Chains A and B, each alone.
Chain A
Amino acid sequence: MKRSTVDYAWWDDTYDFAQNHDFEFIESNFRDSTFQNLDLNLVIISDIDNNLLYCKIRDNMTASLQADICGEIVSNSLNWNLTGESPAVSGLLLVNGQPMMIAATPILTSEIAGPAVGRLMFGIYLDSQEVAALKKMSNVDFSINVLGSLQAVEPLLLNSKSPLLVENNEFNISAYGLLNDLNSNPAFILQVNRPRIAYQQGAWVETISIAFSIVIIAIFSASIFFVLEHKIIRPMNKLAASVGDIPFQSKRVSKGKFESDEIVILSDAVSNTVNSKMDAMLDVSSMVAHDLRNPLAGIRNANYVLKKNYSKVLGEKGNAMLSTIDDCVLYSNKIVNDLLDYSSKIKLDRVRVEVSELVKNSLGMFVSPEGVEVSLDILEGASIFVDPEKVERVFCNLIKNAFDAMPGGGRLVVSARRAGGFVVVKFVDSGVGMSEETLRRLWQPFFTTKAKGMGIGLPTCKRIIEAHGGRLEVKSVLNKGTVFEVYLPVAG
C-alpha cells in the first residue's frame, strides 16, 4: 500500500490536481475500479495548507460521517512526520470503530521534486480477510483488537507497559502488546498466538523421565525383592523348615544348605542350643534310669520271693496281681535299659559275621503275626565287621516295627545286597506307612506314634548303625508301606 501511495503521490497529474483542483483527475484515476484493484478503503488528498481536496471512504456510512472522519484524519496528519527521510508514513488508525492501516505521502512531481503541494493518504481496513492475508504473508498468527475489547488482559497490559504473556493451555501461548495509532496514542492491542513447542518438548521430556523413573524404580524394587527373597527369606524359611532336622550332635551345618554365612551361624546357634538342652535332658534321664535300676531289681526279687513262698496262700487272684507286678517291672526295666542305651556312649565288640546269619537270628526271635507273610532274599557270603548283638537289636527293632505297622496282615520282605563298600539290608513292609510329618520327626528322640513306647528305639538304632560307620535310611508312603535300609560297611 505504501508503494501504491508513493506511485500516486509522486506523479505529475496528482501534483497538478493538488495545485489546480481539476476534478477530472479524480474521475479518471479514482474510480470504483481503482479502489477495487488496489483493495483500498480510503483515499484522501489534501493541499499544502491541509485543506481537504478529496476524500472517499469505501464503507457503508453517511456522507456527513465520512466528511467528519476525513476532516479529523487530515487535521491529525499535521502531527505525522512527513518531512523525514522516509517518503511515506504508515500506521494504524481507528476508523469507524475498525482498525485501518493508513499510508501517507507528500505530493511531489514525477521527478520527485518539490515543493510538496499536498498529501495523499491511502487506507485499508484490517478486516478478517485482510488479517488472514497478512497472516499468510508474514507467517505470524496475530489479531488486532481495538482497545476496550479485551477486558481480561487490558488492565494488566496498561499497568505493565510491557508485553503480556498468557498461557492459554498446554498447547498455545499468547502475547499481547499495546499498539499506538498514527497519532501516537495507545489504541489497539496486538495479540500474537504461538504453539508452545518448547513446552511440548518439555512435557515429552517430563513424560519420558517419569516413565524412565518408574522403570528404574520397578527394576530397583524387583532387584531388592530378588536379593531379599533369595538371600534372606528363602534361607530363613529353609532354616525354619530344617530346624527339626538339625542333628543332635554338635556338628556344623553345611553352607550349601543355607547359602549364607549368617544363616549357617544362626543354624549352628540353634543346633548348639538344642544339643546342650538335649544333652542336659539325657544326663538327667541317664541318672534317673541308673537310680531306678536298683529299686526295680528289689521289687522284682521281692515279687519272686512272694511268688515262691506265698503263692498257695495268696490264691489265684493274688498270684495274678503278682504276675502283673512282674510284667510292670519288666516293662519298666526295658524303659530304663533303653534310656541308658540312648544316653550312654556306644561301645562296640566287633566280629566278622555273615549278614544272612544276623538276619535269620533276628527273625528267629519273632513269631510272625497272623496274616503276615515274611520272605527273605539274602545275599549269601556277604560278611560284615560289626557288633552282632547290637546289629541284631537294630534288626529286631525294625522287624518289630514292621509287624506293628501291619495289624491287618501284609508282607515283610527282608533282603540284603552289596552296594559299593556297603551291604544294604532292606526291610520292606506293606503296612500303614508314615505321614510326611512322622517321617520328618522319625529320628527325633522321644517322638513316637505308639501308645506304648518311649520313642527312642529308632534314634538308638540310628546311633548304633552310625557308630558302625554305616547309615540308616527310610522311605515311606502313607497306606502303602515303609522301607528301611541299613547300610553297613563290608568287612575289609
Chain B
Amino acid sequence: MKLRKQAAIGLAVVSVVIFLLLHAVVVSVIMPGFKSVDNQDITEELGEAQYCRLCLVG
C-alpha cells in the first residue's frame, strides 16, 4: 500500500477517534452542566409560582 494511502487511512482513523472523544467529553461533561442550570431555574420558578408570584397555595 502506498504511504500516502496508509497516512490518509491512519489520519482518518485518528481524526474520527479524536472527534468522538471530544464529542463524548462535550456530551458527558459540558452539556449536563447546562442542563442542570435549566433544571434549577425551572424548579425555582415552579416554587415561586406556587408560593409567591401566583400565590396558588393558600
- By a beta-carbon cutoff of 8 Å, the part of chain A in contact with chain B is 80, 89-92, 101, 134, 138-140, 142, 144, 163, 165, 167, 173-177, 179-180, 182, 188, 190, 192, 194, 196-199, 201-203, 205-206, 209-210, 213-214, 217, 220-221, 224-225, 228-229, 232-233, 236
Contacts and interface: CB of A to CB of B under 8 A. Distances in A.
Interface of B: 3-4, 7-8, 11, 15, 18-19, 22-23, 26-27, 30-31, 33-35, 37-39, 41-43, 45-50, 53-58
A467 to B, nearest CB: 41
A209 B56 contact: no
Nearest to B55: A90
A91 B56 CA distance: 6
Nearest to B16: A217
Contacts of B26: 205-206, 209-210
Give the 4 A-B residue pairs with the shortest CB-CB distance, closest first.
A91-B58, A202-B34, A198-B37, A138-B53
B18 A217 contact: yes
A202 B54 contact: no
Given A202-B31, A210-B26, A194 B56 contact: no
B46 A175 contact: yes
23 contacts: A90-B55, A92-B56, A134-B54, A165-B43, A173-B42, A179-B50, A179-B56, A179-B57, A182-B58, A194-B42, A197-B38, A198-B35, A199-B34, A199-B35, A199-B38, A205-B26, A209-B22, A210-B26, A213-B19, A214-B19, A217-B18, A224-B11, A225-B7
Given A177-B46, A198-B41, A209-B26, 14 more contacts: A90-B55, A91-B58, A138-B54, A140-B45, A144-B56, A179-B57, A202-B33, A203-B34, A210-B19, A210-B23, A217-B18, A220-B15, A225-B7, A225-B8
Contacts, number: 119
Contacts of A236: 3
A221 B11 contact: yes
Contacts of A179: 50, 56-57
B17 to A, nearest CB: 10
A29 to B, nearest CB: 25
A180 B8 CA distance: 66
B49 to A, nearest CB: 5
B13 to A, nearest CB: 11
B37 to A, nearest CB: 4
Nearest to A182: B58
A233 B4 contact: yes
A173 B38 contact: yes
Contacts of B39: 165, 173
B22 A140 contact: no
A202 B56 contact: no
B30 A228 contact: no
A175 B48 CA distance: 12
A194 B40 CA distance: 11
B53 to A, nearest CB: 4
Contact of B19 (A80, A198, A217): A217
B58 A198 contact: no
Residue among B26, B38, B41 with most chain A CB within 10 A: B38
Nearest to B31: A202
Nearest to A207: B26
A210 B49 contact: no
A34 B14 CA distance: 77
B9 to A, nearest CB: 12
B49 A190 contact: yes
Contacts of B38: 173, 194, 196-199
Contact of B11 (A197, A205, A225): A225
A198 B4 CA distance: 44
A328 to B, nearest CB: 51
A233 B58 contact: no
Contacts of A213: 18-19, 22-23
Contact of B46 (A89, A190, A196, A232): A190
B31 A206 contact: yes
A167 B26 CA distance: 19
Contact of A206 (B30, B37, B46): B30
Given A206-B31, A217-B18, A225-B11, A232 B3 contact: yes
B45 A194 contact: yes
